[in-house]
Amino acid sequence: MFGLGRKKKKDMQEPGESLILWGPAAGTEHAEQEEREREKENPGMIDGIPVSPGALPGRGKIVTFHSPKGGDGVSTVAANVAALLARHAGTVLVDLNGVGAVRSRFGLPSDCPVNILDWESAEDRRHISVYEHQCGLALVPGVVHYDDLERVNPALVFRVLGILKDAYEYVVVDAPPVNGANPAWAAAVVSDRVFTVITPDRASIDMLGGTVNYLERLGCEDRSAVMLNKAGVPGGIRVADLVDKNPLGVEFKAILPYSDAVMEYNNRRQVVALARPKDPFSRAVSAFTEEVFD
């Protein structure tokens, strides 16, 4: 046992007193009871923290994309999937990844102040602050200054996602690596689906195990899948070696090819799947979107 102090002799115990090893401080029993009642009503909560998709009410689905490390194509995949979904369903893309990615990718005017911190005081959907992009997709860009990054905390993530889930059919999250070093875990625990994007690249592959393990510990295992991006990239590990020999022991939910058009259209601030639907990457990301979000 852990430093419980000296055990009282039986005859020294007050009537009705029992040894408390680990319990609520005096006076908190009532609050704990109330909390248990609330948890019974809403099984997705633990200690007031949402820990499963069901914990956030709302009709929408939350889908998080992240990768073990930067540069694997999370923003690209999230933006393309979100833009494709937005053609048929109310969809919002949320940037939890700090400064810039969504803002830059979609060419938001540099003086556009809309950003995730607008949500700090938002309570319901009447307070929604999104940028409506011409492709029909709503955007919640990241913070404007790096100094503000620490204000994107788990409480803000739950607040933003909770409100958006009630207002949109799909809430797509462009997240930093879910590894405990940032608030992306908060998005993962309430997501209906979590996709880990990797590339056929040694660093990406080596870090996959740790990422998968972290998601398991968060209880996201059944809702998680891995996708391979930049398949066939020059110098990359051969896809056949990853799929046939399966050294990673994972089944890829999607294999998205490397394509020059991706970078070209990203640089034009266009969504390649919309602008060049016949491109191999566009076809693959469309097939994935149709299959998963039917």
Ligand X SMILES: Nc1ncnc2c1ncn2[C@@H]1O[C@H](COP(=O)(O)OP(=O)(O)O)[C@@H](O)[C@H]1O
Is 52 or 91 the residue whose CB approaches ligand X more closely?
91
95 binds, among Mg ion, ligand X, none (CB under 5 to 8 A by kind): none
Q: Give the DSSP letter string of 19-84.
A: --SS-PPTT-HHHHHHHHHHHHHSTTEETTEE-SGGGS-SS-EEEEEE-SSTTSSHHHHHHHHHHH
Q: Minimal distance in Å, beta carbon 110 to Mg ion?
A: 19
Q: Which of residues 88-147 bind Mg ion (CB under 5 A)?
A: 101
For 90-169, strand residue ranges (E) read 91-95, 131-132, 138-140
Handedness of CA 105, 110, 112, 114 (dihedral sign): positive
Residue of 60, 73, 162, 200 interacting with ligand X (CB under 6 A): 73
Q: How far apart are the first and last CA of the chain?
A: 52
259 binds, among ligand X, Mg ion, none (CB under 5 to 8 A by kind): ligand X
Angstrom distance (rounded) from CA 232 to CA 258: 6
Angstrom distance (rounded) from CA 196 to CA 4: 43
Q: Which of residues 234-293 bind ligand X (CB under 6 A)?
A: 256, 258-259, 262-263, 266, 281
Q: Minimal distance in Å, beta carbon 257 to Mg ion?
A: 19
Residue of 67, 75, 80, 282 interacting with Mg ion (CB under 5 A): 75
**Which three-class secondary structure state does DSSP give residue 198?**
strand
Q: Is 96 a binder of ligand X (CB under 6 A)?
A: no
Q: Minimal distance in Å, beta carbon 193 to ligand X?
A: 17
**Residue 97: DSSP 8-state:** S
Q: Minimal distance in Å, beta carbon 268 to ligand X?
A: 11
Q: Is 76 a binder of ligand X (CB under 6 A)?
A: yes
Q: Which of residues 100-159 bind ligand X (CB under 6 A)?
A: 101
Residue of 52, 64, 67, 91 interacting with ligand X (CB under 6 A): 67
Contacts of 108 (CB under 8 A, 6+ apart): 102, 114, 131, 139, 141
204 binds, among ligand X, Mg ion, none (CB under 5 to 8 A by kind): none
Q: Is 85 a binder of Mg ion (CB under 5 A)?
A: no
Number of H helices, E strands in the chain: 10, 10
Question: Residues in the site for Mg ion, rule: CB under 5 A?
Answer: 74-75, 101
Question: Residues in the site for ligand X, rule: CB under 6 A?
Answer: 67, 70-76, 101, 229-230, 256, 258-259, 262-263, 266, 281
